[in-house]
Amino acid sequence: GENVEQHPSTLSVQEGDSAVIKCTYSDSASNYFPWYKQELGKRPQLIIDIRSNVGEKKDQRIAVTLNKTAKHFSLHITETQPEDSAVYFCAASSSNYQLIWGAGTKLIIKP
Amino acid sequence: GAVVSQHPSRVICKSGTSVKIECRSLDFQATTMFWYRQFPKQSLMLMATSNEGSKATYEQGVEKDKFLINHASLTLSTLTVTSAHPEDSSFYICSAHFPGGETQYFGPGTRLLVL
Protein backbone atom coordinates (compact mmCIF):
# COMPACT_ATOMS: atom_id res chain seq x y z
CA GLY A 1 0.00 0.00 0.00
CA GLU A 2 0.91 3.65 0.01
CA ASN A 3 3.51 4.67 2.51
CA VAL A 4 5.79 7.52 3.48
CA GLU A 5 9.23 6.90 4.94
CA GLN A 6 10.86 9.57 7.08
CA HIS A 7 14.47 9.89 8.21
CA PRO A 8 16.09 10.33 10.61
CA SER A 9 13.94 9.32 13.56
CA THR A 10 15.98 11.56 15.85
CA LEU A 11 18.11 14.55 14.89
CA SER A 12 20.27 16.53 17.28
CA VAL A 13 21.85 19.76 16.07
CA GLN A 14 23.69 22.63 17.68
CA GLU A 15 21.72 25.84 18.06
CA GLY A 16 22.32 28.01 15.02
CA ASP A 17 23.09 25.10 12.72
CA SER A 18 20.78 23.76 10.00
CA ALA A 19 18.55 20.71 10.21
CA VAL A 20 17.37 18.58 7.32
CA ILE A 21 14.64 15.93 7.45
CA LYS A 22 13.93 13.72 4.46
CA CYS A 23 10.87 11.79 3.31
CA THR A 24 10.12 9.48 0.43
CA TYR A 25 6.68 8.48 -0.80
CA SER A 26 5.44 5.55 -2.81
CA ASP A 27 2.27 6.80 -4.51
CA SER A 28 3.17 8.61 -7.72
CA ALA A 29 -0.30 10.22 -7.68
CA SER A 30 0.55 12.16 -4.52
CA ASN A 31 0.37 15.87 -5.22
CA TYR A 32 0.39 17.64 -1.86
CA PHE A 33 3.11 17.43 0.79
CA PRO A 34 2.65 19.18 4.15
CA TRP A 35 5.01 19.31 7.09
CA TYR A 36 3.68 19.47 10.62
CA LYS A 37 5.38 20.34 13.89
CA GLN A 38 4.07 18.73 17.05
CA GLU A 39 5.14 19.73 20.53
CA LEU A 40 4.65 17.29 23.37
CA GLY A 41 0.98 16.77 24.18
CA LYS A 42 -0.21 19.29 21.61
CA ARG A 43 -1.81 19.27 18.19
CA PRO A 44 0.21 19.05 14.97
CA GLN A 45 0.72 22.51 13.50
CA LEU A 46 1.16 23.01 9.77
CA ILE A 47 4.48 24.79 9.21
CA ILE A 48 4.90 24.59 5.45
CA ASP A 49 3.50 22.69 2.50
CA ILE A 50 4.29 22.20 -1.15
CA ARG A 51 2.33 21.07 -4.16
CA SER A 52 3.59 18.86 -6.93
CA ASN A 53 3.81 21.66 -9.48
CA VAL A 54 6.49 23.41 -7.42
CA GLY A 55 10.05 22.29 -6.71
CA GLU A 56 10.86 24.48 -3.73
CA LYS A 57 9.13 26.75 -1.26
CA LYS A 58 10.59 28.93 1.44
CA ASP A 59 9.15 30.73 4.45
CA GLN A 60 11.76 32.60 6.48
CA ARG A 61 13.98 29.95 8.13
CA ILE A 62 11.98 27.02 6.78
CA ALA A 63 12.14 25.58 3.28
CA VAL A 64 10.82 22.48 1.58
CA THR A 65 12.14 20.89 -1.60
CA LEU A 66 10.38 18.33 -3.76
CA ASN A 67 11.84 15.92 -6.30
CA LYS A 68 8.91 14.30 -8.08
CA THR A 69 11.07 12.02 -10.19
CA ALA A 70 12.75 10.51 -7.17
CA LYS A 71 9.58 10.81 -5.08
CA HIS A 72 11.21 12.49 -2.17
CA PHE A 73 10.87 15.77 -0.35
CA SER A 74 12.83 17.43 2.41
CA LEU A 75 12.39 19.98 5.17
CA HIS A 76 15.23 22.43 5.79
CA ILE A 77 15.42 24.56 8.91
CA THR A 78 18.22 27.12 9.06
CA GLU A 79 19.59 29.01 12.06
CA THR A 80 17.90 26.62 14.44
CA GLN A 81 16.61 27.91 17.76
CA PRO A 82 15.62 26.13 21.00
CA GLU A 83 11.93 26.61 20.17
CA ASP A 84 12.42 24.50 17.05
CA SER A 85 12.73 21.44 19.29
CA ALA A 86 9.69 19.24 18.56
CA VAL A 87 8.60 16.23 16.55
CA TYR A 88 8.22 16.91 12.84
CA PHE A 89 5.98 14.87 10.58
CA CYS A 90 5.91 14.79 6.81
CA ALA A 91 2.85 13.62 4.93
CA ALA A 92 1.66 13.02 1.40
CA SER A 93 -1.82 13.37 0.00
CA SER A 94 -3.57 12.61 -3.25
CA SER A 95 -7.05 13.32 -4.53
CA ASN A 96 -9.06 11.99 -1.58
CA TYR A 97 -7.41 14.47 0.84
CA GLN A 98 -6.29 11.68 3.15
CA LEU A 99 -2.79 12.15 4.49
CA ILE A 100 -0.26 9.34 4.59
CA TRP A 101 2.07 10.15 7.46
CA GLY A 102 5.74 9.62 8.04
CA ALA A 103 6.86 8.15 11.36
CA GLY A 104 8.15 11.47 12.66
CA THR A 105 11.52 13.01 13.49
CA LYS A 106 12.36 14.19 16.97
CA LEU A 107 14.45 17.33 16.54
CA ILE A 108 16.63 18.31 19.47
CA ILE A 109 18.35 21.69 19.48
CA LYS A 110 21.38 21.71 21.72
CA PRO A 111 22.19 25.08 23.37
CA GLY B 1 -8.68 31.66 10.63
CA ALA B 2 -8.89 27.87 10.24
CA VAL B 3 -9.52 27.12 13.90
CA VAL B 4 -10.58 23.67 15.01
CA SER B 5 -11.73 22.99 18.55
CA GLN B 6 -12.10 19.67 20.30
CA HIS B 7 -13.82 18.75 23.56
CA PRO B 8 -13.15 17.47 26.07
CA SER B 9 -9.39 17.95 26.26
CA ARG B 10 -9.01 15.22 28.80
CA VAL B 11 -11.29 12.49 30.09
CA ILE B 12 -10.92 9.68 32.58
CA CYS B 13 -13.58 7.01 32.60
CA LYS B 14 -14.29 3.57 33.94
CA SER B 15 -14.00 0.51 31.76
CA GLY B 16 -17.28 -0.26 30.00
CA THR B 17 -18.52 3.30 29.73
CA SER B 18 -18.90 5.34 26.54
CA VAL B 19 -17.12 8.59 25.81
CA LYS B 20 -18.12 11.22 23.25
CA ILE B 21 -15.57 13.57 21.72
CA GLU B 22 -16.63 16.62 19.72
CA CYS B 23 -14.69 18.25 16.91
CA ARG B 24 -15.76 21.64 15.61
CA SER B 25 -14.50 23.86 12.81
CA LEU B 26 -15.05 27.33 14.23
CA ASP B 27 -14.56 29.65 11.28
CA PHE B 28 -15.05 27.50 8.21
CA GLN B 29 -17.29 24.73 6.98
CA ALA B 30 -15.69 21.34 6.70
CA THR B 31 -17.38 18.73 4.55
CA THR B 32 -14.66 16.29 5.53
CA MET B 33 -13.14 15.68 8.94
CA PHE B 34 -10.66 13.04 9.96
CA TRP B 35 -10.22 11.17 13.24
CA TYR B 36 -6.79 10.02 14.33
CA ARG B 37 -5.37 8.13 17.27
CA GLN B 38 -1.84 8.68 18.48
CA PHE B 39 0.03 6.49 20.94
CA PRO B 40 3.07 7.85 22.81
CA LYS B 41 6.10 8.49 20.59
CA GLN B 42 4.25 7.30 17.50
CA SER B 43 2.85 8.87 14.39
CA LEU B 44 -0.79 9.68 13.82
CA MET B 45 -2.92 6.73 12.83
CA LEU B 46 -5.97 7.53 10.73
CA MET B 47 -9.06 5.87 12.15
CA ALA B 48 -11.79 7.15 9.88
CA THR B 49 -12.85 9.81 7.43
CA SER B 50 -16.03 11.63 8.37
CA ASN B 51 -18.13 13.14 5.60
CA GLU B 52 -21.02 15.47 6.35
CA GLY B 53 -24.36 13.83 5.68
CA SER B 54 -23.01 10.37 4.93
CA LYS B 55 -21.51 7.39 6.69
CA ALA B 56 -17.94 7.54 7.83
CA THR B 57 -15.26 5.54 6.06
CA TYR B 58 -13.22 3.47 8.48
CA GLU B 59 -9.66 2.33 8.03
CA GLN B 60 -8.83 -1.33 8.09
CA GLY B 61 -8.76 -2.74 11.59
CA VAL B 62 -10.91 0.01 13.13
CA GLU B 63 -14.23 -1.30 14.45
CA LYS B 64 -17.06 0.93 13.25
CA ASP B 65 -19.42 -0.34 15.96
CA LYS B 66 -16.94 0.57 18.66
CA PHE B 67 -15.93 3.97 17.30
CA LEU B 68 -19.15 5.66 16.26
CA ILE B 69 -18.78 8.74 14.10
CA ASN B 70 -21.48 11.27 13.38
CA HIS B 71 -20.93 14.26 11.09
CA ALA B 72 -24.34 15.91 11.36
CA SER B 73 -23.36 19.42 10.26
CA LEU B 74 -20.66 21.18 8.30
CA THR B 75 -18.96 22.30 11.51
CA LEU B 76 -19.35 19.35 13.87
CA SER B 77 -18.20 15.76 13.92
CA THR B 78 -18.39 13.51 16.96
CA LEU B 79 -16.53 10.34 17.86
CA THR B 80 -18.05 8.05 20.46
CA VAL B 81 -15.87 5.37 21.97
CA THR B 82 -18.38 2.75 23.10
CA SER B 83 -17.71 0.34 25.95
CA ALA B 84 -14.23 1.74 26.43
CA HIS B 85 -11.46 -0.50 27.71
CA PRO B 86 -7.97 0.31 29.01
CA GLU B 87 -6.43 -0.48 25.62
CA ASP B 88 -8.51 2.37 24.14
CA SER B 89 -6.54 4.84 26.24
CA SER B 90 -4.82 7.15 23.77
CA PHE B 91 -4.62 10.65 22.35
CA TYR B 92 -7.48 11.20 19.91
CA ILE B 93 -7.12 14.07 17.44
CA CYS B 94 -9.51 15.31 14.81
CA SER B 95 -8.71 17.40 11.78
CA ALA B 96 -10.88 19.35 9.39
CA HIS B 97 -10.25 19.67 5.70
CA PHE B 98 -10.16 23.30 4.63
CA PRO B 99 -12.39 23.69 1.56
CA GLY B 100 -10.86 24.58 -1.77
CA GLY B 101 -7.49 23.05 -0.96
CA GLU B 102 -5.74 20.13 0.61
CA THR B 103 -4.81 21.53 4.01
CA GLN B 104 -5.97 19.84 7.19
CA TYR B 105 -6.18 21.77 10.43
CA PHE B 106 -6.07 19.90 13.69
CA GLY B 107 -8.01 20.12 16.91
CA PRO B 108 -6.07 20.24 20.18
CA GLY B 109 -6.70 16.57 20.89
CA THR B 110 -8.43 14.58 23.62
CA ARG B 111 -6.44 12.48 26.02
CA LEU B 112 -8.54 9.47 27.03
CA LEU B 113 -7.64 7.34 30.02
CA VAL B 114 -9.77 4.28 30.67
CA LEU B 115 -9.37 2.75 34.10
For residue range A75-108, list pLDDT tens digits in order.
999 999 999 999 999 999 976 788 999 999 999 9
Asked whether the beta carbons of A105 and A6 are under 8 A apart, the reply is: yes
What residues have CB less than 8 Å from A1, skipping those under 6 apart? none
Contact B49 A102 (CB under 8 A): no
List pLDDT tens digits, range A2-32.
899 999 999 999 999 999 999 999 999 999 9
Cα dihedral angle (A53, A54, A59, A64), rounded to 10 degrees? 110
Q: How many CB atoms lie within 10 A of CB A105?
A: 22
Asked whether the beta carbons of A12 and A21 are under 8 A apart, the reply is: no
What size, in residues, is chain B? 115
- Chain A residues in contact with B107 by the CB 8 A cut-off are 43
Q: Give me the residues paired with residue B78 across strands.
A: B22, B70
CB-based contact, A40 to chain B, within 8 Å: no
